[in-house]
Structure 1
Amino acid sequence: MSNTSEASKLIDHRRFSGMRIRRALEWCGWESSETIGRMKTGRQLIDYDRYQLTRKQFFAAALTAGLLLYGAVYLFYHSSLLSLIASCAGIAAPRFRRRVLVQQRKERLKLQFKEVLFSLTSSLAAGRSLENAFLSTLDDLRLLYPDPRTELLLEFQIVRFRLENAEPLEYALRHFADRAGVDEISQFVDALATCKRSGGDLLEVMKRTSVIIGEKLEIEQEIAVMIAQKKFEGRIMMAVPFVFLAFLSLAAPDYMAPLYGGRGYLLLTGALLLLIFCFWLMAKLMTIRM
């Protein structure tokens, strides 16, 4: 009996340890095999607030971050062991890479939705009904985006499928807007639903809504273009201290030798922490929520 209880405890301990490791990997951006399978078969509708990394994306992000951390720490401390320990933190990089990919996908969705607004307004002005205008917009999207994996093209195919199954248009669009998490799309769907319920001038309301949202998207694009240049300059400024340190270590090793011993490590640690703080501050200043 004692052997059986010890064996069950050992199994429970291993199972608990496996769950902790799995949770830690999921926090870092690791996706389960079931999720990867649903991604490949296309059985799961896209949740635009969550990006599902493939195995290749996960390992690429972790390996790249690990190599960068190894090189940066080695430049400061000239210790292979310390650099190797620091490079293990690269396993958390896929989590941050996933956030960037979520934002990029939403930005693509906004640009594609801008084209939809123009097409929809033209169709309504030509005298089509709202449902037929959305169906014709799908044909326009296929001309603009030949890639069948384009996000909005897939979503409009789902909307058409729902319409063919006698589901109201506003319900189909609301389901898409809730998954997209984009303010412009939600505002458009709210305006459409309100207009259909109140019996207002649908053409005029859709025109004005499309113009307002289109102008907002254009302003956001202009701001993004201006920020992109500053972000590029910021990345260069982040790299300069490490390039300068590498140059001095290669060109004048005797000059740098006092830093790699005794109090020199304290100075290097302080400089590294100060650089990390500057990098964080630059990233915060360059982040503008629109």
Structure 2
Amino acid sequence: MIVLGLSCACLAVALAAWISQRLFYEAAQRYQSSFTEQARTELSDLFVFVDLTHLWPALVCGAIGVTLFCWLLTQSVVFALSLGALSVFLPRVALTSALRRRQKRFDLQLPELLLALSGSLRAGASLTFALKSIVQDAATPLSQEFGLVLREQRMGLSFAQTLENLYERMPSESVELVTTMLIVGMHSGGSLAELLERLCSNLCARQHLEGKIEVMTSQGKMQAWIMGALPLVLLLVLSQIDPVSIHLLFTTTQGQGVLLTVCVLETLGVFCLRRILAIHV
């Protein structure tokens, strides 16, 4: 009877391990495909064209290296596995952040583009010729995006379609206003230069308001980062004052649980504060 019970227990453990392995493998495959596709899309939006064949193996090797390094440093399996798992998600966050910064730079360049475009139209130039002359001297990412617009137009796409493609690559309210204004102005006629000047004034006023909000909320954002970093600084100080007690946090199950709870709560706190202070105009 005991042998039968042990056999059933071993079988149950083996079955649970097999199911866990299958679920982990399927989840890893789904994350690999989604991450590779997102990286390909966002890197192409950043005008970075590289071969992504070895991206996932390099990411896995990096995560394993981070896990081993943290384990050798702290002798904590839970802490090492947590940081190793976190390192897998960091590249996705970095790509999204880089894309967001590029979008912000592009929006800041739009009023200058509209003002120069309005001046060229008043001088008698066509819209396409004015865009071409402005793009040649513009900085990135404006020159890259509108250069692609002109190349797509030379390949046979309509001007409206190229502007819609621009909005798909740079989905912001400012880009939507600019593309809609250009499309409507091309089809309805009228004084497009005057409309562009008005839109330029509106965008400048909006960016000025966003800058004021950014300045007014910068103190709160800095406080969020300081509060998030304070436990780490305190941990380093205490590790120098009482290393024996701090060592228990990394070597005992209770201590590792406390560290994991603190990390989760700190991350949620910083995220909530930044969401509260993220005011959209």
The verdict on a shared fold, with TM-score over 0.5 as the criterion, is yes
Measure, in 2, the Cα distance between the counterparts of 1:158 and 1:164. 10
Q: 1:24 aligns with which of 31, 36, 48?
A: 31
Shift of 1:208: 1.1
Shift in CA distance, 218/249, structure 1 to aligned 2, threshold 3 Å: same
Measure, in 1, the Cα distance between the counterparts of 2:156 and 2:32. 43
2:91 equivalent in structure 1: 94
Shift of 1:135: 2.0
The answer to whether the Cα contact below 8 Å between 2:118 and 2:194 also exists between their aligned partners in 1 is: no
1:9 equivalent in structure 2: none
Q: 2:238 aligns with which of 248, 259, 276?
A: 248
Shift in CA distance, 272/19, structure 1 to aligned 2, threshold 3 Å: closer
Measure, in 2, the Cα distance between the counterparts of 1:198 and 1:117. 18
The unaligned stretches of length 5 or more in structure 2 are 1-21
Shift of 1:58: 9.8
2:114 equivalent in structure 1: 117
Q: Secondary structure at the match of 1:200?
A: coil
The answer to whether the Cα contact below 8 Å between 2:109 and 2:142 also exists between their aligned partners in 1 is: yes
The answer to whether the Cα contact below 8 Å between 2:66 and 2:84 also exists between their aligned partners in 1 is: no
1:137 equivalent in structure 2: 134
Shift in CA distance, 196/31, structure 1 to aligned 2, threshold 3 Å: closer
2:81 equivalent in structure 1: 85
Shift in CA distance, 56/115, structure 1 to aligned 2, threshold 3 Å: farther
Shift of 1:184: 0.8
TM-score (ref. length: structure 1):
0.67
1:281 equivalent in structure 2: 272
Shift in CA distance, 177/256, structure 1 to aligned 2, threshold 3 Å: closer
Q: How many residues align?
A: 253
Shift of 1:120: 1.1
| % identical equivalent positions | 24
Measure, in 1, the Cα distance between the counterparts of 2:253 and 2:24. 40
Q: 1:207 aligns with which of 180, 197, 220?
A: 197
1:4 equivalent in structure 2: none
Shift in CA distance, 96/266, structure 1 to aligned 2, threshold 3 Å: closer
Q: 1:173 aligns with which of 147, 150, 163?
A: 163
User: Equivalences for 1:228-267 in 2 at 5 Å?
Assistant: 228=218, 230-253=220-243
Measure, in 2, the Cα distance between the counterparts of 1:233 and 1:116. 36
Measure, in 1, the Cα distance between the counterparts of 2:135 and 2:66. 44
Shift of 1:250: 1.8
2:19 equivalent in structure 1: none
**Aligned CA-pair RMSD:** 4.3
The unaligned stretches of length 5 or more in structure 1 are 1-14, 40-45
Q: Secondary structure at the match of 1:127?
A: coil
Shift of 1:162: 4.1
Deviations along 1:60-85, whole A, 9 cap, x unmatched? Answer: 89959x959x87x999xx65222222
1:153 equivalent in structure 2: 143
Amino acid at match of 2:232: F
The answer to whether the Cα contact below 8 Å between 1:62 and 1:94 also exists between their aligned partners in 2 is: no
Amino acid at match of 1:86: S
The answer to whether the Cα contact below 8 Å between 1:47 and 1:179 also exists between their aligned partners in 2 is: yes
Shift in CA distance, 207/261, structure 1 to aligned 2, threshold 3 Å: closer
